């Protein structure tokens, strides 16, 4: 068997390419519904004789999809991926983002890397999984709204928790260059709303400046970020080896000659397992409420801070000898494992009792960028991964035939 890790960009299977092209054509930017894509997958599986369950959001505009290939009376291996993509707004694309284009051993299009190619290869392989008896089933778990805080998959996991049989292990196909990832950071993202008191800027001391109050809290966050970078804790297996603290959005005020009566800003913690997100948040809140709020409320008792959690997901930190790690290494053909700073749904699967690793085609370096691409070599490696999984899940006498 040739070593695809060292091969020149091999040809990929026509069914994989066709499925990638079909999925990319759906504009599933997170602000949009993903139902057209989900219904396409449901109908594709139905044509193969597989029934799929849709788990909708509260508004019915989006849905997760769950389906089992093979026996339904036992837990198997979940292949998990999100169906949403990030926006193309204000990006300088040289190609149509919703149509596959090929050049220099690459497939270009929004979602080719993050992460429709994994979903497409899994779907394209479904007829092969179904072509003979599977001793252990394959479960397909496709979610919505991962890109805006892993908001969709909790509903799918809640559904699975109520089922008599659910997946035993999970492989989340985020782009890792087909390397096995056993750990990633957790994330907590927050919005702080600052309420001040408006006044004419010539009478600034009579008002409460919400922007300046926000700036002081952001300064605290900046100090916390510097402290983590200097003092840790550290884990050098990550490309950023410490917990990060980041402020990404700020809005407030109306015009220069009015003391701003409102401001909001968004910030996040991407934390190592050794750090507690609740403890980090408590530091920020204590500073705002004890160091800033009293002077604000001495002028206007209604002024102050309110806090809103935007999104959050747990980190992933598997032991190196976990069963799902051994499985993924055998399927990928590699012995090494790694850790990544970006978050995935694997932490949510794992915390729900379904051990999960991350392993999928493409590089995170290409994710979210204009002219996003995945290499044909990565897709071919993913196809080989599915081939090995198929052989692994068949009865041994069938696999040897």
Residue (of 44, 40, 48) closest to 70 by Cα position: 48
Compute the radius of gyration of the chain from its Cα atoms.
Answer: 24
CB–CB of 316/153 below 8 Å?
Answer: no
The catalytic residue positions are 84, 146
């Amino acid at each position: 068997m040739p070593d695809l890790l060292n091969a020149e960009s091999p040809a990929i299977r026509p069914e994989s390419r066709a499925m990638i092209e079909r999925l990319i054509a759906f504009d599933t930017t997170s602000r949009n519904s993903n139902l057209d894509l989900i219904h396409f997958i449901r109908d594709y599986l139905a044509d193969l004789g597989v029934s799929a369950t849709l788990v909708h959001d509260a508004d019915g505009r989006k849905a997760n999809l769950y389906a089992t290939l093979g026996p339904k009376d036992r837990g198997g291996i979940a292949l998990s991926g999100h169906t949403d993509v990030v926006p193309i707004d204000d990006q300088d694309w040289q190609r149509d983002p919703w149509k596959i284009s090929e050049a220099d051993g690459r497939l270009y299009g929004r979602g080719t890397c993050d992460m429709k190619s994994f979903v497409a290869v899994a779907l394209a392989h479904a007829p092969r999984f179904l072509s003979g008896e599977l001793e252990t089933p394959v479960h397909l778990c496709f979610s919505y709204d991962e890109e805006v805080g892993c908001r969709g998959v909790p509903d799918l996991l809640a559904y699975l928790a109520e089922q008599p049989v659910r997946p035993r292990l999970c492989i989340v196909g985020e782009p890792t260059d087909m390397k096995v990832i056993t750990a990633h950071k957790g994330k907590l993202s927050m919005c702080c709303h600052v309420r001040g008191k408006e006044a004419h800027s010539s009478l600034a001391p009579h008002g409460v400046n919400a922007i300046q109050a926000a700036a002081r809290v952001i300064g605290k966050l900046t100090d916390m970020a510097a402290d983590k970078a200097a003092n840790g804790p550290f884990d050098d297996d990550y490309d950023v080896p410490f917990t990060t603290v980041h402020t990404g959005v700020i809005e407030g005020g109306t015009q220069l000659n009015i003391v701003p009566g409102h401001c909001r800003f968004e910030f996040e913690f991407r934390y190592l397992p050794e750090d507690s997100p609740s403890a980090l948040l408590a530091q920020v809140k204590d500073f705002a409420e004890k160091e800033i709020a009293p002077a604000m409320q001495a002028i206007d008792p209604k002024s102050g801070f309110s806090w809103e959690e935007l999104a959050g997901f747990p980190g992933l930190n598997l032991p190196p000898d976990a069963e799902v790690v051994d499985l993924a290494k055998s399927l990928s053909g590699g012995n090494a494992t790694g850790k990544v700073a970006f978050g995935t749904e694997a932490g949510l699967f794992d915390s729900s009792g379904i051990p999960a690793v991350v392993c999928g085609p493409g590089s995170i370096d290409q994710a979210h960028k204009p002219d996003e691409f995945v290499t044909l070599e990565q897709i071919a490696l993913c196809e080989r991964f599915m081939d090995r999984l198929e052989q692994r899940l068949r009865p041994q006498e069938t696999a040897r035939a």
